[in-house]
Amino acid sequence: MITQPHVRFEQRGPELMAVEIGQGSCSPLIGLVHRALFALGLDIASYRARPEGGGLVERLVLERSGGGCIDGALSAEAKAAILPIALSVYAAEVRAEAV
């Protein structure tokens, strides 16, 4: 069973290529992540979800809306947008278990 979220960013050199988010919940995060990335001018080129350990692992391949690389400041902004989403779901699950 997935007890803590994991977020793994896939990079080719300095370029952000994809992100994999694993969580204990079976509720997909793609909607929340898509909105955050869209605000940065990023698109999801492909999406795959698979059940794992009683939870869900989602893999999103990213691309820049107008083309080009996702590197430097844009890569950092994308990571900063994704991490709180994954962690907030975990925090909500922990609060629900404590009740």
* Strands ordered across the beta sheet of 55-64: 6-12, 15-23, 55-64, 42-52
Reported pTM? 0.85
- The tens place of each residue's pLDDT in the chain, 99 residues long, gives 556 789 999 999 999 999 999 998 888 999 999 999 999 999 999 999 999 988 999 999 999 998 899 999 999 999 999 999 988 866 565 556 666
Question: Can you list the positions of beta strands (E) in 1-99?
Answer: 6-12, 15-23, 42-52, 55-64
71 exposure class (CB count in 10 Å sphere: 0-12, 13-18, 19+): middle
Distances (CA, A) of 53 to 18, 20, 21: 22, 15, 13
Give Cα 24 distance to the centre of its chain.
Answer: 14
Judge contact between 66 and 54, C-beta under 8 A: no
Q: What SS3 class is residue 40?
A: coil
